[in-house]
Amino acid sequence: MTDARPPDLPTAAVPADINRWNWGAFLLNWIWGIGNNTFIALLTLVPVVGLVMPFVLGAKGSAWAWRNGRWDSVAHFKRVQRLWAIWGVVIWLGVIVLYSGIFGGVFYLLENSEAYQLAASRLRDNVAAVNALGAPISTGLPSGKISVTGSSGRADLNFSVTGSKATGRVQLQALKTNGVWSFTTLKLRIDGRDDEIDLLKESRVEIEHDRRTIAASPGKA
């Protein structure tokens, strides 16, 4: 079998203008290795070693591919490696967009979930929480998990809160039964404080406010 390289280029010689960083090898590592007969790239699949190999391939890949492949010319080599680099960028951008869409969709569903909205409303209506945080109170994106099947569901979420005086974090656990959400846990922890505010318990001020509201209402005929 004869080598297709030009006769004036020895097998071991690597032209200086191609012995440079290889983006295709770095981005596609083991896939690039199989396509370029550089099977050392499969070490990318080995734990721990795989963390280093993409950088090794980026630095040494061009030389290895030149020695292991059959190229009509330097121009042919450059053209092929440029295509690998382009496909590497395209694939990685696609992966980033895909995962961004997945995570964005999850956060959107959590933020617009009824359990989160009810918890945020309960927080803003709680006098003890308002006094501790300071109005107005803004809430951050929730994290955790929520599952709904028909009229039943379960939520286990937490989210940050920010007021004019302090910041904190709310933890909630809720169950959905017959289409109605009810909290089993709804607590506020203020940053820098060890105690928690149970948002499921009305404060004395809230109870007195409710009593005044009832007393001020006109009686039934």
Q: How many C-beta neighbours within 10 Å does residue 41 have? A: 25
Beta carbons within 8 Å of 33's beta carbon, 6+ residues apart: 25, 39, 40, 41, 42, 44, 57
Q: What is the reported pLDDT for 3?
A: 44
Which segments of the chain belong to CATH 3.10.450?
A: 113-216
Alpha-carbon distance of 103 to 199, in angstroms, equals 29
pLDDT of residue 210: 47
pLDDT of residue 111: 75
The closest alpha carbon to 176, from 142, 148, 200, belongs to 148
List the CATH code of the domain at 113-216: 3.10.450
Burial class (CB in 10 A: 0-12, 13-18, 19+), 134: middle
Output the tens digit of pLDDT for each of the chain's 221 residues: 344 444 444 445 889 889 999 999 999 999 999 999 999 999 999 999 999 999 999 999 999 999 998 899 999 999 999 999 999 999 999 999 998 887 777 777 777 788 889 999 999 999 999 999 998 999 988 888 888 888 888 999 999 999 999 999 999 999 999 988 889 999 999 998 888 899 988 644 444 444 454 455 555 44
Q: At what angle do helices 49-68 and 23-35 cross, to 10 degrees?
A: 70
The continuous run of DSSP H or E covering 188 comes out as strand 180-190
